[in-house]
């Protein structure tokens, strides 16, 4: 059977994509988001707008913004440029800081467009594709991640009443580039995408070609594994939420001790994330569970560094306190 053409890949992806309109496409000026914008514009001619985030600190930022302005003007697409300063906090990776700042800027950009157009914008689309998804999975494996990491990127989520979508997760990056070339459409190459100092780029340039050669169908099978992990993670979250309700907040030590270790770890992670917005490292969680197992007398104290603060024993319950500098 002939393999699908770039147009067939994209048509297939957009067929399953049915967002409430209008749709804002997040446009970096790279190949992926340029292709997503033009494909969506083709499908919903007057219902697509674009948001570009100008990362003030990057030298190339003006060039990206100028490209997006030219592209949108040429296709009659309304564009909003949102400025942001993605300086990273001490201890935070520059990539994470840029991502966090970008999502906040995209939110502000959507709100600004709503004001300007006098319309709600119920949907925002991001252009990550099948290779990005596999890179995310392999990065998670390289860090020893648990199920949430192995579940990789969700194709859809709802936040503050707005739908966020990733309609291209089934389309290989090379197909998007080919689709643009066939239309004579250019894009901007981000110089940081080839920097081998980033693990993601080493995965992209060294690991993916080896997988391509060794494992036919690996993109689909890896994506299927991520989908299994995402489903299992949903179940774990449900179990943790039920357990936490039973155990109480703050969690009762005796009730925690009655749980099997895996279930105890699951509810502790859930409590820290949902109630305190923090995460324990594997070593911190193991030590906390060891302390819980040893906590047999009234006098046994617990004070452990966990995430951005400390877990403490207060009588019959555990408590978490943020560090003053967190």
Ligand X SMILES: Nc1ncnc2c1ncn2[C@@H]1O[C@H](COP(=O)(O)OP(=O)(O)OP(=O)(O)O)[C@@H](O)[C@H]1O
For the annotated binding site for ATP, the residues are 28-33
Q: DSSP for 39-97?
A: HHHHHSTTSEEEEEEEETTSTTHHHHHHHHHHHHHHHT--EEEEEE--PPPTTS-HHHH
- Establish if 318 lies at the interface with ligand X (CB under 6 A): no
Binding residue numbers? 28-33
Which residue is listed with tokens 């940081």? 192
Residue with Cβ nearer ligand X (132 or 243)? 132
Question: What is the closest distance, in whole angstroms, from the C-beta atom of residue 232 to ligand X in the complex?
Answer: 25
Q: How many residues bind ligand X (CB under 6 A)?
A: 18
Q: Residues for the chain: how many in total? A: 326
Q: Pick from 107, 114, 190, 237: which binds ligand X (CB under 6 A)?
A: 190
- Establish if 10 lies at the interface with ligand X (CB under 6 A): no
- Asked if residues 37 and 25 have their Cβ atoms less than 8 Å apart, the reply is yes
Q: Pick from 10, 13, 14, 27: which binds ligand X (CB under 6 A)?
A: 27
166: number of CA atoms within 13 Å, CB side? Answer: 15
Residue with Cβ nearer ligand X (99 or 274)? 99
- Please give the Cα distance from 114 to 120 (Å, whole number): 5
- Establish if 22 lies at the interface with ligand X (CB under 6 A): no
- Establish if 208 lies at the interface with ligand X (CB under 6 A): no
- Establish if 41 lies at the interface with ligand X (CB under 6 A): no
- Asked if residues 25 and 49 have their Cβ atoms less than 8 Å apart, the reply is yes
- Establish if 26 lies at the interface with ligand X (CB under 6 A): yes
- Establish if 126 lies at the interface with ligand X (CB under 6 A): yes
- Please give the Cα distance from 318 to 311 (Å, whole number): 7
Q: For the chain, what is the radius of gyration of the CA atoms?
A: 23
- Give every CB contact of residue 160 below 8 A, 6+ residues apart in sequence: 107
- Establish if 39 lies at the interface with ligand X (CB under 6 A): no
- Segment near ligand X (CB under 6 A); pick from 22-30, 150-158, 245-253, 283-291: 22-30
- Establish if 31 lies at the interface with ligand X (CB under 6 A): yes
- Segment near ligand X (CB under 6 A); pick from 27-35, 143-151, 269-277, 303-311: 27-35
- Segment near ligand X (CB under 6 A); pick from 6-14, 123-131, 148-156, 233-241: 123-131
Residue 109 to residues 171, 198, 205, Cα–Cα distance (Å)? 27, 28, 33
63 CA to centre of own chain:
26
- Segment near ligand X (CB under 6 A); pick from 31-39, 213-221, 240-248, 288-296: 31-39
- Establish if 81 lies at the interface with ligand X (CB under 6 A): no
- Please give the Cα distance from 28 to 24 (Å, whole number): 13
Question: What is the number of the residue whose Cβ is closest to ligand X?
Answer: 30
- Segment near ligand X (CB under 6 A); pick from 23-31, 113-121, 157-165, 270-278: 23-31
- Establish if 127 lies at the interface with ligand X (CB under 6 A): yes
170: number of CA atoms within 13 Å, CB side? Answer: 15
Question: What is the closest distance, in whole angstroms, from the C-beta atom of residue 198 to ligand X in the complex?
Answer: 11
Question: What is the closest distance, in whole angstroms, from the C-beta atom of residue 217 to ligand X in the complex?
Answer: 24
- Please give the Cα distance from 288 to 37 (Å, whole number): 48
Which parts of this chain interact with ligand X (CB under 6 A)?
Answer: 26-28, 30-33, 51-53, 55, 102, 126-128, 132, 190, 193
């Amino acid at each position: 059977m002939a393999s699908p053409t770039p147009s067939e890949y994209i048509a297939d992806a957009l067929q399953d994509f049915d967002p409430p309109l209008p749709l804002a496409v997040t446009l970096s000026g790279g190949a992926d988001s340029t292709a997503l914008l033009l494909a969506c514009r083709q499908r919903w001619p007057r219902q697509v707008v674009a948001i570009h985030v100008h990362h003030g600190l990057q030298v190339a930022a003006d060039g990206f913004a100028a490209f997006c302005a030219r592209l949108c003007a040429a296709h009659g697409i309304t564009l909003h440029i949102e400025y942001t300063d993605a300086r990273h906090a001490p201890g935070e990776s520059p990539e994470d800081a840029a991502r966090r700042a970008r999502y906040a800027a995209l939110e502000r950009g959507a709100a600004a467009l709503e004001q300007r157009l006098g319309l709600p914008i119920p949907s925002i689309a991001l252009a990550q594709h099948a290779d990005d998804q596999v890179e995310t999975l392999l990065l998670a494996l390289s860090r020893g991640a648990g199920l949430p990491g192995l579940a990789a990127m969700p194709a859809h989520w709802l936040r503050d009443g707005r739908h966020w979508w990733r309609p291209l997760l089934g389309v290989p990056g090379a197909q998007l580039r080919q689709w643009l070339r066939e239309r004579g459409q250019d894009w901007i190459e981000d110089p940081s995408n080839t920097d081998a100092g980033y693990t993601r780029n080493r995965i992209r340039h060294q690991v993916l070609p080896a997988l391509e050669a060794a494992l036919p169908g690996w993109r689909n099978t890896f994506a299927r594994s991520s989908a299994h992990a995402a489903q299992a993670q949903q179940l774990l979250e449900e179990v943790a939420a039920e357990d936490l309700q039973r155990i109480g907040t703050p969690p009762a030590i005796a009730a925690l001790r009655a749980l099997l270790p895996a279930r105890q770890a699951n509810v502790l992670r859930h409590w820290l994330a949902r109630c305190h917005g923090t995460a324990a490292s594997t070593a911190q969680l193991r030590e906390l569970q060891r302390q819980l197992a040893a906590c047999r007398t009234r006098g046994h104290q617990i004070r452990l560094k966990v995430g951005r603060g400390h877990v403490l024993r207060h009588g019959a319950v555990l408590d978490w306190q943020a560090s003053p500098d967190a």
